[in-house]
Structure 1
Amino acid sequence: MNWDLNRLFRLHAREITGALRLRGASRDLAEDLMQDAFLRVLSAPPRRAEGRDNPRGYLFRIARNLLIDRVRREGRLPVIGLDLTDLGQLPDTAPDPEAALYQQERLDRIAAALAEMPERTRHAFALHRLQGATMAEVAAEMGISTSRAWGLIHEAYRHLRACLHEG
């Protein structure tokens, strides 16, 4: 893939955000989903030819799908009132010991991968992923450009993915 994502971001970020707003997303949610769409393309470019000829359309589709996923996820959590007699009938959701061990091993590998990162990269990742800061907020906090913040976060994701897939 030979896309210039910085150029695509400058050309289409506002347009994608506006389209998400027209679909009912708040300003903050639209901006976050737009950034997530670019991060998704950056971390996992299209494998089939369908997205390579029309990067704008591909980005719009990813952003729209992210919004649909978000709406579905929020709609799946109905609130149900239970009285105390119903609690005994609920299934045990605790993971089996093997699954718990696997998840603990993954968490240990993630912690080790985070410790290997340069401080600036780890800080940018923590602001964005753990504290929910937008790219603009990360950039402002760190005193860097938005594109540099985006690059640091992408670097962190790439490192984490590589560490989780090895071993």
Structure 2
Amino acid sequence: MSESGILAVYLQERSKLARLLVARLGSAEEAEDILQELWLKLNGTPLGPISEPAAYLFRMANNLAIDRRRSAAWRAVREAEWVETQPAASELPDTTDVMIARERLAHVQAAIAAMPEREARAFRMFRLEGKPQKVIAAEMGVSLSLVEKLLQNAYRRIHDAGRENDAGRRAPPRLFSKEDRT
């Protein structure tokens, strides 16, 4: 059967195909979408001889409906999983927490920048690059105990910088003492 012949059978069987698709999909709009897709496939694809053109069309329509339902099911699963992975509003940090975290990060970065070069290098290699202390010692050409000391000093500097930062952000001074309130 030629292309024009299969298109003629399509036009002849269109109402039956539409009923089949509505029954399969439960939606006249989706059935029309699939009929349009079927028309485009028939129009754009060279076909060989088809002995049962009506059965061929119904099989194609049914396959397209199955594909549509599978896609919809996967889309629903994907969207449900996406929604599950999104944090709830209560899980998001408030503005104050974000500002405090940024301020702390700036102080840590400043503390690292103020460290002696070997200390900062050992700290970056260990904490940021995730290298073992033995590897750091070998790369820097120093002993393992020196790497441990460099890291201890780095931690102490960062800790001290954090305490200095927190001291500046303590509770506001009291305007009245306990004796003044009585």
* Structure possessing the higher radius of gyration over alpha carbons: 2
TM-score (norm 1): 0.48
Q: Could you say which structure has the higher helix fraction?
A: 2
TM-score (norm 2): 0.44
